[in-house]
Structure 1
């Protein structure tokens, strides 16, 4: 079975290069490319609906964050694989929050690209090792009702909500009217209670359990 892919990237050379590489994969087919989110909005209704959208994070007019949010609301069954030049936690968290099911760096090797697409189709998600994939795997075993079983204080919940944003711990402390050290104590307490080790893990837990901060 062939799976249809759309590439959204404002760098035409990169988009064409990706399309050329993917054309050699057995089970995947690129049906068209777009330069940004607005271009995608114009094209997606007039063609075959894709199974996967490879979505650049940084684009003019309508960037990857805005496009991912629109896609997840309008076409929730389409799998979004974010494309980025940077492996920063802030972009990863925001793309997941906006509906991305995968995240991939643009310096990926062709074989790894093919494997990542296969895993995305099979498991409905794909996150590389740097993105703390063990955290994501462990969170798949956490039931959404677990937020009722694990006792969290109101301040810990408030911290969890801020963890889904791009705020630094110092900025969180200002919002919470406390010291940076107190914020770190909330973080460490949650690491222990939830069995997590990274801020990305806390953010994903918050998103999965309805603690995401509305921006």
Structure 2
């Protein structure tokens, strides 16, 4: 069985070692490299071809936000899962804008790590439920108000709900008995109507507009 390749980026060696050991228990994944800084990570991308990068937000020299921006500018198809701790909500929106595919808490167990990796490699987006609840609480005090009339159709709202559940385009198509091409078209229209750059920012939009409950 061909395994998906994972690159770990975190400045704490002990954490990387623990995460590596956890991932090595998964049949479908293998760790092909580690980096302790953003610069080291960018250097490794020159000769490694990871399917997924697990990237810490807070690192010396170059933080995860800048590392994500630079890596995705050069490798736009790269799938990045952000590693986060509670209390780092201020970084979430910036990481979303950078184009990451998911958020995972550093204290996640093997079941959630597996779910995050499998969801992302299959084309979906993964957001730790605990982390999203933390984010939702922080948004309660946001000055941004709800739009009085949603620009989305009922079908588009239905698709947003499935996106928020982490389903891939193909899974959404199967769930709604639509073609993948039709779902792709709906998704493009949704992003245009909501002024969202990517799926991750769309999830946050759905939370703010109360289109999805967590």
Asked if these proteins are the same fold (TM beyond 0.5), I'd say: yes
User: How many angstroms apart in 2 are the aligned matches of 1:194 and 1:132?
Assistant: 24
Deviation at 1:85, TM superposition (A): 1.0
Q: Which runs of 5+ in 2 are unaligned?
A: 134-140, 158-163, 165-193, 202-214
User: How many angstroms apart in 2 are the aligned matches of 1:51 and 1:39?
Assistant: 17
User: How many angstroms apart in 1 are the aligned matches of 2:22 and 2:74?
Assistant: 29
Q: Is the 8 A contact 2:42 2:71 kept in 1?
A: no
When residues 93 and 2 of structure 1 are mapped into structure 2, their CA distance, relative to the original with a 3 A threshold, is same
Q: Is the 8 A contact 1:116 1:126 kept in 2?
A: yes
Matched with 1:52 is: 52
**1:29-66 residue CA offsets vs partner (Å, 9 max, x unmatched):** 1001000110112222123x000000000001011000
When residues 191 and 102 of structure 1 are mapped into structure 2, their CA distance, relative to the original with a 3 A threshold, is farther
1:148-163 matched pairs, under 5 angstroms: none
Aligned residues: 155
Matched with 2:20 is: 19
User: How many angstroms apart in 2 are the aligned matches of 1:99 and 1:60?
Assistant: 21
RMSD (Å), alpha carbons: 3.0
Alignment equivalent of 1:193, drawn from 150, 153, 168: 150
User: How many angstroms apart in 2 are the aligned matches of 1:66 and 1:207?
Assistant: 20
Matched with 2:34 is: 33
SS at the partner of 1:120? helix
Alignment equivalent of 1:208, drawn from 179, 197, 203: 197
SS at the partner of 1:104? strand
User: How many angstroms apart in 2 are the aligned matches of 1:116 and 1:110?
Assistant: 10
Matched with 1:81 is: 81
1:56-67 matched pairs, under 5 angstroms: 56-67=56-67
Q: Is the 8 A contact 1:5 1:50 kept in 2?
A: yes
Q: Is the 8 A contact 1:81 1:100 kept in 2?
A: yes
TM-score (norm: length of structure 2): 0.64
Q: Is the 8 A contact 2:23 2:30 kept in 1?
A: yes
User: How many angstroms apart in 1 are the aligned matches of 2:148 and 2:104?
Assistant: 26
Q: Which runs of 5+ in 1 are unaligned?
A: 134-167, 170-183
User: How many angstroms apart in 1 are the aligned matches of 2:30 and 2:123?
Assistant: 19
Q: Is the 8 A contact 2:105 2:131 kept in 1?
A: no
